């Protein structure tokens, strides 16, 4: 995350609305929360809370999910 002062956080919370308080980390990176970052390293799905691509690979490999 980039450095944020109180005013920037207040602007973000006004923009994001009450839904921000319902998300892990409160930053809702899939929406306006992406403005809080200067860079993202790693798997975006892991950041969102579920490493989706590795999970899908596991499910395919073990026969739980068809191609």
Could you report the per-residue pLDDT of 48-65, keeping only the tens digit for each?
777 888 889 999 999 999
Q: pTM (2 decimals)?
A: 0.63
Residue 44 host element (H or E): helix 44-48
Choose among 52, 24, 47, 50: nearest CA to 37.
Answer: 47
What's the pLDDT band for 10 if we cut at 50, 70, 90? very high
Burial 48-60 (b: 16+ CB within 10 A, else e): eeebeeeeeeeee
pLDDT of 32 > 80? The answer is yes
Give the tokens for residue 38. 């200067």
Give me Rg for the CA atoms of the chain: 16
């Amino acid at each position: 995350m980039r450095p944020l002062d109180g005013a920037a956080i207040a602007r973000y919370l006004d923009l994001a609305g009450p839904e921000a308080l319902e998300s892990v980390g409160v930053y809702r990176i899939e929406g306006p929360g992406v403005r809080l970052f200067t860079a993202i390293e790693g798997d975006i799905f892991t950041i969102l809370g579920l490493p989706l691509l590795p999970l899908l690979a596991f499910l395919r490999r073990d026969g739980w999910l068809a191609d």
